[in-house]
């Protein structure tokens, strides 16, 4: 079975969006992220949480639906129903939501913030998001490999919003890494700009649901991703380094927002507004 190396799954922007959700079997200890194999001389960012304190998401999450349960039936019904969305504005939003990682999701929050954050002027925020992403990757890796849940499009020729490939077909489904990232980042941004908390989480929910619209995840994968994101964020708040970086990012973003910035594309904001309504 084809698998992508973990290092590439942790490098934002260097792989297809689906590659973020393909992980190798977990080892007895977390693989080193001290350097990047692409540029060995470059020091890579570390996750905030050590292996010893990172929450055991396999133990915490309920298992995915199986057999002929009502939950499994609901998952299948949601997949079937959303195939009819191809060609609709909601399908278009889901297709653009395939992009993931700190930079992509921060851009997705531009309409909520009311301006695009110039990432070159927000090093503290990008450090916070990129380091947190390593904790997110570890939190989703265990359940994916433990349950090895097959994606909904495998074994059929239903429409999906990306090109089918062996890699994406072999990547496990539960929980959704995209949904976990979106929920964790929404929590972080809500802590930085609390008056926008509702809208951050609405956008995170629609971003996660886009994975169902795309046919890449079951609805229960998205729900598990939101739970995993909440778990990761709760654990991160216990880390002194995370709290310090969060405060630096808060000061930085407050200044950037107060100083004004580039307004988001209103066509993009109108497209994202379609996702405010739940898909089911």
Q: Where are the alpha helices (DSSP H) in 193-238?
A: 197-213, 219-236
Structure tokens, 35: 């350097």
Q: Which CATH architecture has domain 70-276?
A: Up-down Bundle (1.20)
Q: Give every CB contact of residue 3 below 8 A, 6+ residues apart in sequence.
A: 22, 23, 24, 170
**257 contacts 113 by C-beta, under 8 angstroms:** yes
**229 contacts 180 by C-beta, under 8 angstroms:** yes
What is the per-residue pLDDT for 30? Answer: 31
**107 contacts 126 by C-beta, under 8 angstroms:** no
Using the 8-state DSSP alphabet, how is residue 36 labeled? Answer: -
What is the per-residue pLDDT for 42? Answer: 52
Q: Give every CB contact of residue 51 below 8 A, 6+ residues apart in sequence.
A: 29, 30
From first to last of the 280 residues of the chain, give the pLDDT tens digit.
443 343 333 333 344 443 444 333 333 333 333 344 444 455 557 999 999 999 999 999 999 999 889 999 999 999 999 999 999 999 999 999 999 999 999 999 999 999 999 999 999 999 999 999 999 999 999 999 999 999 999 999 999 999 988 888 889 999 999 999 999 999 999 999 999 999 999 999 999 999 999 999 999 999 999 999 999 999 999 999 999 999 999 999 999 999 988 999 999 999 999 999 988 7
The per-type count for the chain, helices as H runs and strands as E runs, is 13, 0
| CA end-to-end distance (rounded Å), the chain | 34
Beta strands in the chain (DSSP E): none
Q: For the chain, give every domain's residue range.
A: 70-276
- Model confidence, pTM: 0.83
Biggest CA–CA distance in the chain, Å, is 56
Distance of CA 77 to the CA centre of its chain: 24
């Amino acid at each position: 079975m084809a698998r992508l190396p973990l290092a590439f799954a942790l490098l934002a922007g260097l792989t297809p969006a689906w590659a973020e959700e393909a992980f190798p079997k977990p080892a007895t200890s977390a693989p080193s992220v001290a350097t990047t194999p692409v540029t060995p001389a470059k020091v890579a960012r570390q996750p905030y949480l050590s292996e010893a304190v990172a929450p055991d998401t396999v133990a915490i999450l309920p298992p995915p639906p199986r057999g002929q349960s009502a939950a499994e039936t609901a998952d299948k019904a949601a997949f079937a129903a959303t195939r009819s969305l191809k060609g609709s504005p909601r399908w278009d939003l889901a297709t653009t939501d395939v992009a993931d990682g700190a930079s992509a999701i921060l851009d997705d929050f531009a309409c909520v913030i009311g301006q695009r954050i110039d990432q070159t002027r927000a090093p503290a925020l990008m450090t916070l998001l990129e380091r947190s992403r390593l904790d997110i990757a570890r939190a989703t890796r265990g359940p994916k490999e433990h349950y090895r849940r097959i994606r909904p499009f495998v074994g059929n020729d239903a429409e999906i919003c990306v090109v089918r490939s062996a890699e994406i077909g072999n990547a496990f489904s539960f929980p959704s890494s995209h949904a976990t990232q979106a929920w964790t980042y929404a929590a972080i941004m809500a802590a930085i700009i609390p008056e926008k908390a509702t809208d951050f989480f609405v956008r995170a929910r629609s971003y996660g649901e886009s994975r169902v619209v795309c046919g890449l995840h079951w609805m229960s994968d998205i729900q598990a991703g939101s739970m995993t994101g909440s778990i990761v964020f709760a654990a991160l708040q216990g880390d002194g380094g995370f709290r310090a970086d969060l405060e630096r990012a808060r000061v930085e973003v407050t200044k950037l927002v107060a100083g004004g910035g580039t307004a988001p594309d209103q066509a993009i904001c109108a497209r994202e507004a379609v996702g405010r309504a739940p898909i089911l």
